């Protein structure tokens, strides 16, 4: 697990820019479910738990379809669980 912690920490360091938060995690796809095995921080861990718990989200889409998923695309593909009215 230490190698994965180094991986997520390095990814954050490389992608980080001033004023922008970067969250990174590694998800293991198992035959019947997905599990987060390493996260850069508590926020990344929680986001992964939500995606793995609902079996839906941009990280799982990227993993299952073996492609990159960008934030704008993720917003179109994944409807929020709770939406506030006007």
User: Residues, the chain, total?
Assistant: 86
- In a domain, residue 62? The reply is yes
Domain that holds residue 39: 2-77
Number of domains making up the chain: 1
Residue 77 pLDDT grade (very low, low, confident, very high; cuts 50, 70, 90): low
- In a domain, residue 54? The reply is yes
Q: How do the residues of the chain divide into helix, strand and coil, expressed in percent and rounded to 5?
A: 50, 15, 35
- In a domain, residue 82? The reply is no
- In a domain, residue 86? The reply is no
Mean pLDDT of 51-75: 79
Q: Quick one: 57 exposed, middle or buried, by C-beta within 10 A (0-12, 13-18, 19+)? A: buried
Residue 79 pLDDT grade (very low, low, confident, very high; cuts 50, 70, 90): low
**pLDDT tens by residue, 14-23:** 988 898 888 8
- In a domain, residue 83? The reply is no
């Amino acid at each position: 697990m230490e190698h994965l912690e180094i991986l997520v920490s390095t990814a954050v360091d490389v992608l980080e820019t001033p004023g922008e938060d970067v969250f990174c995690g590694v998800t293991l796809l198992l035959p019947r479910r997905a599990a987060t095995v390493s996260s850069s921080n508590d926020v990344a861990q929680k986001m992964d738990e939500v995606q793995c718990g609902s079996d839906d989200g941009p990280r799982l889409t990227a993993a299952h379809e073996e492609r990159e998923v960008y934030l704008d695309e993720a917003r179109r593909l994944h409807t929020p669980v709770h939406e506030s009215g006007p």
